[in-house]
Amino acid sequence: MNLSRTHLGDGACSTLRLKIDGCNHTGAMTTLGCRCEVDGYEWEICLFYPWRFFSGDHRIALTLVFLSDAGANRHPSGSSAIVALLRAAEARSSGYIKNESMTVEYILVPSPNLPKHLGELLESKVGADVTFPVSGKSFAAHKNVLAARSPVFMAEFFGEMQEKSSGRVKIRGMEPSVFGAMLRFIYTDAVPELDRMETATANLAQHLVVAADRYQLDRLKVLCEQRLAFAIDTSTAATMLALAEQQGCSQLKVKCMEFIAGGSCENLDTVMKTEGFKDLMANSTTMMAELLVAAHGRKK
């Protein structure tokens, strides 16, 4: 059996043509183990030929099974898609199979665009019902979207203690750039800035992890932890450890501890000379004890 594939059309609506040569089986079920890229993902193409359908009749099914889908519904369109399903008895008369060759055209669905649409809603300010003044800058947003994403905003806008004049909520102790990035995350589930490797980005992530903790945005918090883990070096390790401890970032804390207590003596010497380490010594005796235990464990 041979498989060939062609993409037809492009843009919002396009079709994938799969042509399988050598469809001369009639009795046993045949599976076709062949990988194929569809909609930007890798899929396994499986041909069930013929296949006893739950209604009792025999069908020929051609399916795309999403590869390496460990969790449930990781792929936006589901983890498996049936490309063609036809009655075995009609396969030849339907025109799908001709000269022992089966041709199927599969309509491709565009990728999900919910984050894009909500991002545009945030930018357009259409229907916004709350304004956040943040250090001289003002942000317009939608209470229901904020509440859907953050338990803190839910309580603030729709809980029993909701503010009466909640059309305007002043934000203290946060930079406008940080609040703006947090808003974009709330609407789009992403912070593109965090993908950059500049020092400024690590700085943003440090502030964003505080904001994420304040508004209980758990996924944003892990995104920031992940980004900050790349910025651990001798100059930042101690400060980062203090931040991780303060904001309850367990994974980041483990990585900082490992870096400080698990490296070489020269490494530890350099870390101990930083202002961050001096602050840690002055303010957190518990952390110092934890570091001591970790370093001792490494020596064994």
Q: Which of residues 106-125 bind its own copies (CB under 8 A)?
A: 106-115, 117-118, 120-121
CA 20 to chain centre: 35
Cα(5)–Cα(15) distance, integer angstroms: 10
Shortest separation between residue 12's beta carbon and its own copies, angstroms: 6
Looking at 2, 4, 24, 94, which residue binds its own copies (CB under 8 A)?
Answer: 94
Cα(232)–Cα(229) distance, integer angstroms: 6
- How many other CB atoms are found less than 10 A from the CB of residue 132? 19
Looking at 135, 138, 250, 283, which residue binds its own copies (CB under 8 A)?
Answer: 250
φ and ψ at residue 56, rounded to 5 degrees:
110, -30
According to DSSP, the residues that pair with 59 across neighbouring strands are 51, 87
Q: Nearer Cβ to its own copies, position 110 or 173?
A: 110
Mark the segment that binds its own copies (CB under 8 A) among 23-31, 92-100, 239-247, 286-294. Answer: 92-100
Does the protein bind its own copies through residue 92 (CB under 8 A)?
A: yes
Mark the segment that binds its own copies (CB under 8 A) among 21-29, 138-146, 171-179, 278-286. Answer: 138-146
Residues 12-41 that bind its own copies (CB under 8 A): 12-13, 15, 37, 39-41
Does the protein bind its own copies through residue 87 (CB under 8 A)?
A: yes
Question: DSSP assignment of 68-106, as one string?
Answer: T--SSS-STT-SEEEEEEEEGGGTTTTTSEETTEEEEEE
Q: What is the DSSP letter of 171?
A: B
Does the protein bind its own copies through residue 44 (CB under 8 A)?
A: no
Residues 255-284 that bind its own copies (CB under 8 A): 255, 258-259, 262-264, 266-267
Does the protein bind its own copies through residue 226 (CB under 8 A)?
A: yes
Looking at 189, 213, 216, 294, which residue binds its own copies (CB under 8 A)?
Answer: 189
CB-count exposure of residue 150 (10 Å: 0-12, 13-18, 19+): buried
